[in-house]
Structure 1
Amino acid sequence: MTAEAPSGPHWPADLASFCFEVPYSEESILFERASGIRLFDTEGRTYLDGMSGVFVTCFGYDCEPIHSAVTRQLGRMAFNPPLHGTNPNALALAQALTELAPPGIVTAKLVNGGSEAVEAALRLARLYHRETGNSGRYKVLSYYHGYHGSTFGSLSVTGRPDVSRFGPGLPGAVHVWSPDALQDFLGVPEEEAGRVAADLIERTIEAEGPDSIAALIVEPVIHLRGMAIAPRDYLVRLREICDRHGIVLVFDEIVTGFGRTGEPFAAHTFGVTPDLMCVGKGISGGYAPLAAVLVRERISAVLGDGSGPVSFAPSHTYAANPLAAAAGLAAVRLFTEGDFPARITKLAGHFEPALRDAVGTRGQVRALGLLYGVRLSGPDQEDGASLGERVARACLRRGLIIRGQDDWVVLAPAFVTTENEADAVCGILAEALDETCGPR
């Protein structure tokens, strides 16, 4: 049975031929154009984007250097036969990404999106163990309530109950509890949560059998837990545990990477180098589908003899596409040459206190660089919608795009946001909280 099209002004009468990303409703928007950090719909309404699209458009919607790089490449070559070679942009981008990454990261595998990056990392972890004589290592540990993507393997390690509708997942997926979840569900004190969570992960490794475990994949900041930030020294402890048991440590930095935390990657922020880093989102500034797996030397060594480029098949038709690589190379150069780490730190110094003032006593603010989560206090479910959803909808009615779910909202302003725009974002959020949670 075909669902009826919404009756609001944004949508055409017949939508039966279009499969939307999420359930569409009266609030779904037909975006038509964008400039800076603003979007415009087909009805002429303007929206401030407080989410950088979805952690993607970190340089805004009209970044001339990236736009020009893609346009120039389009005039030269839009595609190359991937079974017979590659292109200069891809080689230069791989070099630029490894130079931006922590020391020890020497190889970059370019892919089309975050889910593909996670898939590639899972395959690479298993391949590494097979090539080093440990083919029995196939299990992957990951968080309950984390998120790693929408393909079958990445969904399997996501650990959320709402993905169970697709049936059994990837064999060998084993879920563990994050420090934030232990605080919420078991009342473990914040100062103890990191130690207890790390201890439980090591106990899980011992219970499953270390010789059966290929990898541990974690988000340094867990988006779908309202930007739960890893406790101090927790990731250092995970590095030690993985080293002790011969397990590949994978950081999912799709959200946290490429400047979001104030440094190039969260690995820099937390002082821990994983074996594999999945990076994406802002890596192309939103101008082309692009992500990558950044690979530590001991892992990439199994893919080649060191005499030339390493090989990792099977791959994807559009991986390392010249247009996407041109966008990524321009974005990386802009990030480094434009001194964006300092600009991010300055903007965060203005945005965070403004956000805390907007929230007041109505929630707990979590902040790291230009990543913000607010755990909300207020009525839980009303009319079937969570508090986070209601706050996000109240913002949208006022022309501000954020994300809200469960008892949290998250914001991720673009790196080019002005202080006046930051104040406008926080002002609208304050009004939405007034409506949904009461006065501050």
Structure 2
Amino acid sequence: MPSDDNNTLITPWAAIDTSAFCFEVPHSDETILFESAAGVRLTDASGREYLDALSGVFVTCFGYGCEPIVEAVTRQVRRLAFNPPLHGTSRTAIELATELVDLAPASFRLAKLVNGGSESVEAAIRLARLYHRERGNPGKYKVLSYFHGYHGATFGSLTVTGRPDTSRFGPGIPGIVHVWNPHSLAQQLGVSLEEAGSLALALIEQTIEAEGPDSVAALFVEPVVHLLGMAVPPPGFLPGLRRLCDKYNIVLAFDEIVTGFGRTGQEFAAQTFRVVPDLICAGKGISGGYAPLAAVLISERIASVLETGDGAYAFAPSHTYAANPVAAAAGLAAVRLFRELDAPARATRLSTKLTALLEHALGDRGVLRSAGLLYGITLTAAEPVAAAKTSPGQALAQACLRRGLIIRGQDDWVVLAPAFVSTDEDLDEIAAIFRAALDEVLGGVR
């Protein structure tokens, strides 16, 4: 594992022509050129190994080189790699949609297969507006979502994302209204999270009244807010949102692209928090990372507008690769493996061990939040001890990466999401490296 004495990452870009570089992330000397992976570990072009404690980005929940999924994709490529989407679909896509609906709460009936999380969110926005139009309320078109949430990178989903840095692209799609979530209010007002939950519900209802209930179509929320360091809602908050949506005839949509597919210890966060939304946007781990895949899961009530020709044809347009047979094969194999391994129970068991390890490593240097195998840590130190030009969260993530551990860090937080197939030894190693990185960046436990 080539590195210098300070664990500086070395990447062999000299042998690669970057004159027409694939711009997915800004290219720098620290950009890693990954070459291979197996289990929960990746290897770069220099031979250095990395322990992936983020599941790629909440995606590779069954690890790398998962043979059941690889075999299913291989069989599908040989049998039917693509079908004419304007004329039909594949048996594999139908089976996947059926099994995804079976994982969702009992009131769910349909699944629309798409390519990624952003597309899932935009399809759900279209469906929420279509639902109200087909029910005789065409004026209900506005969508509420959190400040500081995240819903994707395409233009519509980016507009629903309530972050200041999205304004650099100019005005977004019309009809999006942002509201405050409990964690943001707790930070701003210096109140408890429970009190902030009550305030947030009151402010959301005031916003609905101010905008006009006859104009509000949907409320989009992440059950656990990713870019606030996995902010878990206070008790009673999500049920309160459900009551508000019922009161004002608003579609409640859960963005479960991160939290879904067993990550919180149950099939979806809807089951974890015992709140049934009208729509669920699912993605990330839904294919285990073996093909681009996401879905909108649709409740019986909302599905009713797709029974007639007008509603069905209005919602039908999709992307060329939506419900692609190969992606569907990956998803179907992942769902069946999910059941075979009893992934929610497995995530719960691993979470019990890792929570104790992380709490011991963290000490009084931060606050740990978790929902199943989904972790967020807000760092309590105001400044890193080590000299750094980045935020504490970024500095800690970089210190982990220098030691061969992949996590995510931003602002004053870091997040972890190990794969369901992680071993106890993997968790011990994650905690040990995490503690060493904490010691470097924030100093020893006080």
Give TM-score, length-normalised by structure 1. 0.96
% identical equivalent positions: 65
The CA deviation string for residues 49-102 of structure 1, in whole angstroms up to 9 with x for no partner, is 000000000000011111111111111011000000000010001100111100
Distance 1:83 1:305 in 2: 18
Could you tell me which residue of structure 1 aligns to residue 341 of structure 2? 338
Instruction: List aligned pairs for 1:352-431, cutoff 5 A.
Output: 352-380=355-383, 383-431=388-436
Q: Which one of the candidate residues 255, 270, 287 is aligned to 1:252?
A: 255
- Secondary structure of 1:229's partner? coil
Q: Does 1:30 align with 2:38?
A: no
Shift of 1:316: 0.7
Q: Which one of the candidate residues 72, 81, 84 is aligned to 1:81?
A: 84
The count of aligned residue pairs is 434
The CA deviation string for residues 395-418 of structure 1, in whole angstroms up to 9 with x for no partner, is 000000000000000000000000
Could you tell me which residue of structure 2 aligns to residue 304 of structure 1? 307
Shift of 1:12: 4.4
- Please identify, of 290-299 and 186-195, the stretch whose mean Cα deviation from structure 2 is larger: 186-195
Q: Does 1:273 align with 2:280?
A: no
Could you tell me which residue of structure 2 aligns to residue 3 of structure 1? none
1:300/1:310 contact within 8 Å kept: no
Could you tell me which residue of structure 2 aligns to residue 158 of structure 1? 161
Question: What is the one-letter code of the residue matched to 1:431?
Answer: A
Could you tell me which residue of structure 1 aligns to residue 224 of structure 2? 221
Distance 1:227 1:294 in 2: 23
The CA deviation string for residues 163-182 of structure 1, in whole angstroms up to 9 with x for no partner, is 11100011011001110000
- Secondary structure of 1:48's partner? strand
Shift of 1:380: 3.5
The CA deviation string for residues 266-300 of structure 1, in whole angstroms up to 9 with x for no partner, is 00001111111000000000000000000011111
- Please identify, of 341-350 and 315-324, the stretch whose mean Cα deviation from structure 2 is larger: 341-350
Could you tell me which residue of structure 1 aligns to residue 143 of structure 2? 140
- Please identify, of 378-387 and 319-328, the stretch whose mean Cα deviation from structure 2 is larger: 378-387
Q: Does 1:192 align with 2:195?
A: yes
Could you tell me which residue of structure 1 aligns to residue 98 of structure 2? 95
Shift of 1:192: 1.1
- Secondary structure of 1:221's partner? coil
The CA deviation string for residues 166-215 of structure 1, in whole angstroms up to 9 with x for no partner, is 00011011001110000111112122121111111001000110111111
- Please identify, of 419-428 and 183-192, the stretch whose mean Cα deviation from structure 2 is larger: 183-192
Distance 2:13 2:268 in 1: 38
2:11/2:33 contact within 8 Å kept: no
Shift of 1:425: 0.6
Shift of 1:11: 5.5
1:148/1:157 contact within 8 Å kept: yes
- Secondary structure of 1:361's partner? coil
- Secondary structure of 2:364's partner? helix
Distance 1:139 1:398 in 2: 47
- Secondary structure of 2:227's partner? helix
Question: What is the one-letter code of the residue matched to 1:62?
Answer: G
Question: What is the one-letter code of the residue matched to 1:179?
Answer: P
- Please identify, of 333-342 and 403-412, the stretch whose mean Cα deviation from structure 2 is larger: 333-342
Shift of 1:16: 2.9
- Secondary structure of 1:124's partner? helix
Distance 1:201 1:49 in 2: 38
Could you tell me which residue of structure 1 aligns to residue 18 of structure 2? 15
Question: What is the one-letter code of the residue matched to 2:109?
Answer: V
Distance 2:313 2:339 in 1: 26
Distance 1:68 1:125 in 2: 37
Structure 1 regions of 5+ residues with no counterpart?
1-5
Distance 2:344 2:391 in 1: 35
Runs of 4 or more off by more than 6 Å in structure 1? none
Distance 1:410 1:305 in 2: 44
Distance 1:305 1:92 in 2: 23
The CA deviation string for residues 98-122 of structure 1, in whole angstroms up to 9 with x for no partner, is 1110011100000000000000000
- Secondary structure of 1:364's partner? strand
Question: What is the one-letter code of the residue matched to 2:410?
Answer: Q
Distance 1:114 1:289 in 2: 9
Distance 1:326 1:11 in 2: 38
Distance 1:310 1:106 in 2: 18
Shift of 1:379: 4.0
Could you tell me which residue of structure 2 aligns to residue 322 of structure 1? 325
Shift of 1:21: 1.9
1:379/1:437 contact within 8 Å kept: no
Change (3 A) 1:11 1:423: farther
Structure 2 regions of 5+ residues with no counterpart?
1-8
